Amino acid sequence: MSNQEINLSPTRPYMARAIYEWICDNQLTPYLLVDATQPYTSVPEQFVKDGQIVLNIAPHAVHQFQMSNDAVSFSARFGGVARDIYVPISALLGIYARENGQGLFFDPDEYANVQTTEDTLKSNTQEQVESETPKKKPSLRLLD
């Protein structure tokens, strides 16, 4: 039975949080490997190489760090300029320690058939707009 059939959520965000905690607990530097070509990914384009970017997410290097089931977001400086970073979990290819390369790398196709929160929001908004379209005005007719 597949994850789709029993409707399990993907393991990627849970595994990424666990590896992040393990790296930090061992006083190592956590790096994210990101597929910068994925929709809704917001990273500094000038540092993207071959569609990918590596981000240092050490606690001392980032501000307002959050890793949810949907995305990794934080603020960091790139070339002295503060930037807000947003990485959907589907764009997260790996999390590893800079010092020894130990970590976890994910199957890029894991999210191929999973509808993301952004897609869900977009389709819900579209359905809401469609349901708000004017319909025929109700009328009352008296019968004798």
Fold of the domain spanning 11-105: SH3 type barrels. (2.30.30)
Nearest to 33 by CA among 57, 9, 10: 57
Residues sharing a CB contact under 8 Å with residue 79, sequence separation 6 or more, in sequence order: 44, 46
Q: Label residue 6 by pLDDT band (50, 70, 90).
A: confident
Query: Could you count the other beta carbons within 10 Å of the beta carbon of residue 84?
Result: 11
Residue 143 has pLDDT above 50, yes or no: yes
CA gyration radius, the chain: 21
Tell me which of 120 and 37 has the higher pLDDT.
37
pTM of the model: 0.74
Nearest to 61 by CA among 52, 43, 74, 72: 74
Q: Label residue 9 by pLDDT band (50, 70, 90).
A: confident
